[in-house]
Structure 1
Amino acid sequence: MSLSKGNDPASVKAPDVFDPQVFARGVPHDELRRLRDQAPVSWQDEHEVQDWPGGPGYWAVTRHADVKHVLRTPEVFSSSLGATQIRDPEPDDLAFIRRMMLNMDAPEHNRLRKLAGAVFTRRRLERSAEQIRERARGLIGAVAASGECDLTTEVTDDFPLLNLADLLGVPAEDRGLLLKWTNRVIGYQDPEHAEVMRDAAGKPVNPRSPAALKDMFEYARQLADHKRAHPGDDLMSALVEASLDGPELEMFFFLVVIAGNDTVRSALPGGVLALVEHPAEYRRLRASPSLLGTAIEEMLRWHPPVLTFRRTASQDTALAGTPIRAGDKVVVYHVSANYDERVFPDPDHFDITRTPNEHLAFGQGPHLCLGAHFGRLQMRIFFEEFLALLPEVTLSAAPTRLTSNFINGLTHLPLRW
C-alpha cells in the first residue's frame, strides 16, 4: 500500500497528523504506527485550520532512524531556509527569524552556539539547584493539605517559569510577562490560550512574527541595558558581557523564555500523568526513589515535550526510498520516533527501568537542546519533592490537552489524593 504524496493518483491518503485538533484529542499513536510501518516518509496536506491559512504541505518523517538522520544532516535538511516551524513564516519576517540560533545553519549556528554554551554552563545551572528545590517544595506544599489540585495551573505552569526568571535575572514584578509571551507563541492554536492578533486589514498575524513579539523584544533590549549598568550573577548579564547584542540577543531571550519554559512546563505534567496511568510503575518508583533517573528518561520518551520540528531540503535527495525535492518541507515527529518498535522493545509499555533509552525528546545533532541539562535538573528535583510530599495521586477528571501540532502540552491535569 502506498501512502505517498497526494498528487500520485495511485496513492492512498495518509492519516492526518498535521491538524493540531487531532493532537488535542490525544497523540494519534495508531496513525503514527501505521505511517511508521507503511510509509515512514509520507505527504501531509496543510489544510486551513480555523482562521489560519493552509500551506503547501510537507513530508512527515516518523521512524527513529530517519528522524535522527534528518537532524544529523543539516547540510541537506536546513534549519535556516524556512525556519523550524511547520507553518511558513511571512517572507518579510524570515531574515529576522534566522537570527535565532534554532533557525541557523553552519557556520552562523556554530558561532552562536559556542558563544551561548560558554555562558549556559552546567556549573551555572547547578548553582541554582537549592533555589529550585525550595520552589518545588513551596509550590507542591501549598496544595498538599487540600487533597486536590489542578497540577498545571497551580504548580507546573509556575515552576519552570520562575526558575527561568531567576536564571535570566528577570525582576519579580515582570515574571508574569514570561507566561503571557509563552502562551501567545505556544498556545496560538489553542482556544484557551490563543491571543489572536490582527493587522490593519483584519488578517491574523503570525504569533511568531516580529510584529507580534515587538513588546517581548523591546523588553529584552531594556533588560540588557539594565544589566549593562547593573550586572548580576545571571544569564542575561553573562550574555551582555559576552557581547551578544542586537537582534541575536533578542532572539536568544525569546528562545530561552519560550523553549526553556514550555519544554519543562509540558514534561512535568506529562510525567505525572504517565505515573498516574501506570499505577504499578508509580508504586514501584515510590518504593524505590533511586530509580528516578531512568524513570525521568522514560517519561521523556513517553511524553516528549516537543511533538515535531521542521527542516527544509536544500537539495534533491531521498529518505527511506522517498524522493524529496529541494525546497520541500520535511517535518520530523519526535513523538513517533520515541515509540518506534525498531528501537524500543514493547514501546507501548511504560517502564521506569528501560535501558537503553535512546529517546529523541531533546533532539539530536548540532541542534541538540542547549537546555537539556537544565530541563533534567528541574525534572529530577520536582519529582523528588513530588514523591516525598504527596501520597499516591489519582485523576479527579480527564486531563485537557493543548491544541498544538508542535508542543505536547497539558493545560489542565486535575488530581486528588
Structure 2
Amino acid sequence: MSGVRPPFDVFDPKVYSRGIPHETYRRLRGEHPVHWQDEHEVDGWPAGPGFWAVTRYADVVRVLRTPTEYSSWLGATQIRDPAPEDLPFIRQMMLNLDPPAHGRLRRIVSRVFTPRRVERFTADVAARARLLVDEIAERGECDLPVDVTDEFPIQNLGDLLGIPAGDRAHILAWTNRVVGYQDPDHATVVEGAGGGPVNPRSPAMLADMFDYARRLAADKRRSPTGDVMTALATAEVDGRRLTDPELSMFFFLLVIAGNDTVRSALPGGMIALLGHPDEHHRLLAHPHRLDSAIEEMLRWHPPVLSFRRTAVVDTVLAGQPIAAGDKVVVFHGSANYDERRFPDPLRFDITRNPNDHVSFGDGPHVCLGAHYARLQLRAFYREILWRLPDIELAGPPDRLVSNFIAGVKHLPVRYTPVPRLGAR
C-alpha cells in the first residue's frame, strides 16, 4: 500500500504550516473518506508503514467512540510509531489506554478535576486576562502569542496544578519540546544520533519532566493543599495510590494537553474572528453571543488536528476494509468542516446551532479539561475584544509545523492604544 506518494497528502506537517488544507479534506470526504496515506520521509524523519486517513464527521466519531475496534493502547495515539522499547511505558498514560483500564484512571482525574474545583479559579483567570491585556494596551500593536496568549494558559495551569510560580517557565519549554518537535524552531537533535531528529516523547527525553513530577508529588504529600496535583498525589483507587509512572504520565498529560490546547485555541480563535469583520462587529454589538462564538472559533480552528488509533480486528469503515493492526488516523480539522454535518461549513457564523464540533474529541477520551479551557477562552476574549474593539490582524500568522497541533507561533495585531487600567 506504500511506495508511490498518493495524490492527497495529509501527513506532511509542513502542509499545516499553511493552515487547514480545506480543498484536500473536501476531496477526501467526497471521494475517499477512508484513504490510505503514505507515511513518507519528512526532514530526516524516516518513512513509516502508512495509515488510513478518516475525514468524514460520522466516521471520525465512530472511531473515537469504538475502542473495541479502534484501540488507543495497541500503538498509542500519535501518528508516528513509538520505539518498541518505549511503548510499554507510554501505554501507562490514560490517553493511551482502552476501557476498562482507561476508566479506572479517568475516574481518578474526574474526582479531582471537577467543574466545582475549576470554578474556584474563575476570578483569578479573569484577573490574569486583565493584567496581560493591560500590559499591551498602550502599545497599539503586539505579537499576540508571544506577548499575551502563550503566558496566559501556563499561569492558569500552574495555579490549578499547584506548580510554584518560579517553576512555571518549565511548562513552556516542555510543551515546545513535545508538541513542536516537527517544527524547525523547536526540533531536538541529539549529537551522536547522526545529527537527526529524536522523538521527544520517549521516556529518556522526558526524564526531566518526570523527575520534577515525582518531586512535586512528594512535596504535595508532605504539605497538601487544595490543588489538582495534591489530589492526584494522594488519590487512591481500590486501596492503592497511583504508581510513579502513572503519576508521571498524568502530569505529562495535564501539563502538555492542559497548556497547549488553550495556547493554540486562543490565537486561532482570534484569527477566525478577526478574519471575518462582520461577525467580529456582530459579537461586539451582542456580547451575550460570546459562548456561541467560542464554539464556532473552536470549530473553525481545532487545537488538535489529528489522533491515531490502531485497528483491533478486521473491520469496515465507510465501505473500506481495514485489517487488524492497521493505523487509523482521524482528522478533526476535516470532521469540523464536513458538509454532511455542518451546513455551509466554510461560513464563519457566531450563532451556528447546533455546533457539535469534535475539537475536544469524542467518546471515552473526550477532553477532561474542556470546561477549564472554555473558562479561560471566555475570560480572555471578554477582556481583549471589548477593551480593544478595533483590534485587527496586522499580518499573516506564523503557524507551527505540525500534523498534530494547530499551533500559532506569531500573530501580529494592531489596535488603537488605550490607557492601562492601572493608570486610571
CA deviations over 1:2-30 (Å, ceiling 9, x no partner):
xxx557x9xx9341010000111221100
**Residue in structure 2 matched with residue 290 of structure 1 by the alignment:** 288
Three-state SS of the structure 1 residue aligned to 2:413 is strand
CA deviations over 1:160-198 (Å, ceiling 9, x no partner):
011001111111111000100000000011122223335
Partner Cα separation in structure 1 for residue 387 and residue 187 of structure 2: 34
**Residue in structure 1 matched with residue 360 of structure 2 by the alignment:** 362
Residue of structure 2 aligned with 1:108, choices 101, 109, 115? 101
**Aligned residue runs from structure 1 range 130-149, under 5 A:** 130-149=123-142
- How far is the alpha carbon of 1:106 from its aligned partner? 1.2
Answer yes or no: is 1:318 the counterpart of 2:311.
no
Cα distance change of structure 1 residues 199 and 361 upon mapping to structure 2, 3 Å threshold? farther
**Residue in structure 1 matched with residue 419 of structure 2 by the alignment:** none
**Aligned residue runs from structure 1 range 194-213, under 5 A:** 194-197=187-190, 204-213=197-206
Code of the residue aligned with 2:298 in structure 1: it is L
Partner Cα separation in structure 2 for residue 52 and residue 261 of structure 1: 26
Code of the residue aligned with 2:85 in structure 1: it is D
Residue of structure 1 aligned with 2:26, choices 9, 13, 33? 33
Partner Cα separation in structure 2 for residue 199 and residue 72 of structure 1: 43
Three-state SS of the structure 2 residue aligned to 1:92 is coil
Contact 2:188/2:197 (<8 A) preserved: no
Partner Cα separation in structure 1 for residue 94 and residue 361 of structure 2: 14
TM-score normalised according to structure 1 size:
0.96
Contact 1:40/1:60 (<8 A) preserved: yes
Answer yes or no: is 1:70 the counterpart of 2:68.
no
**Residue in structure 2 matched with residue 404 of structure 1 by the alignment:** 402
**Residue in structure 2 matched with residue 54 of structure 1 by the alignment:** 47
What percent of counterpart residues are identical?
Answer: 63
CA deviations over 1:305-362 (Å, ceiling 9, x no partner):
0000000001101100001000000000000000000000000000000000010000
Code of the residue aligned with 1:386 in structure 2: it is I
- How far is the alpha carbon of 1:376 from its aligned partner? 0.7
Deviates more, 1:305-314 or 1:382-391: 382-391
**Residue in structure 2 matched with residue 159 of structure 1 by the alignment:** 152
**Aligned residue runs from structure 1 range 133-282, under 5 A:** 133-197=126-190, 204-242=197-235, 243-282=241-280
- How far is the alpha carbon of 1:201 from its aligned partner? 6.1
- How far is the alpha carbon of 1:388 from its aligned partner? 2.5
Answer yes or no: is 1:89 the counterpart of 2:87.
no
Contact 1:62/1:332 (<8 A) preserved: yes
- How far is the alpha carbon of 1:203 from its aligned partner? 5.2
Three-state SS of the structure 2 residue aligned to 1:211 is coil
Contact 2:132/2:148 (<8 A) preserved: yes
Contact 2:187/2:197 (<8 A) preserved: no
Query: Segments of 4+ in structure 1 off by > 2 A?
Result: 193-205
Contact 2:2/2:50 (<8 A) preserved: no
Contact 1:14/1:35 (<8 A) preserved: no
**Residue in structure 2 matched with residue 118 of structure 1 by the alignment:** 111
Contact 1:199/1:205 (<8 A) preserved: no
- How far is the alpha carbon of 1:394 from its aligned partner? 1.3
How many residue pairs get aligned? The number is 410
TM-score normalised according to structure 2 size:
0.95
Three-state SS of the structure 1 residue aligned to 2:396 is coil
Contact 1:148/1:415 (<8 A) preserved: yes
RMSD of aligned alpha carbons? 1.3
Contact 1:198/1:205 (<8 A) preserved: no
CA deviations over 1:116-161 (Å, ceiling 9, x no partner):
1000010000000000001000011110110000000010000001
Partner Cα separation in structure 1 for residue 12 and residue 409 of structure 2: 18
